[in-house]
Amino acid sequence: MLQDTGTQEDPTAENLLLKRLSDLENNPEESLVPYEEFEMGGETYYFTPGGFLYRRELGTEEIGGFFCGYLSDEAWRYRTDEG
């Protein structure tokens, strides 16, 4: 399920990415690769191993950025080769 970080909000991450990717029944086709960047809502995001979602901050070249939340273990395993 969607996990709340309790910090700054990122509506794109919460409402689009994490909810959609957590819904295994209605969105079964999507797969994820750790550290593969993708754009949504004008922002760049990536997942780290274990399903932790980060938004890339402007000007950062290395791993880092704003932590946005994470997928449940079940959703992460389903969407990656780790399952």
DSSP code of 13? I
Q: Is residue 37 part of a domain?
A: yes
Q: Is residue 71 part of a domain?
A: yes
Q: Is residue 76 very low, low, confident or very high in pLDDT (cuts 50, 70, 90)?
A: very high
pLDDT per residue over 4-61, tens digit each?
Answer: 444 467 888 888 889 999 999 998 999 999 999 999 888 899 999 999 999 987 766 6
How far does CA 12 lie from the centroid of its chain? 10
- Specify the number of domains making up the chain: 1
pLDDT surpasses 50 at 2: no
Domain that holds residue 20: 11-79
CA neighbours within 13 Å on the CB side: how many for 33? 3
Q: Is residue 3 part of a domain?
A: no
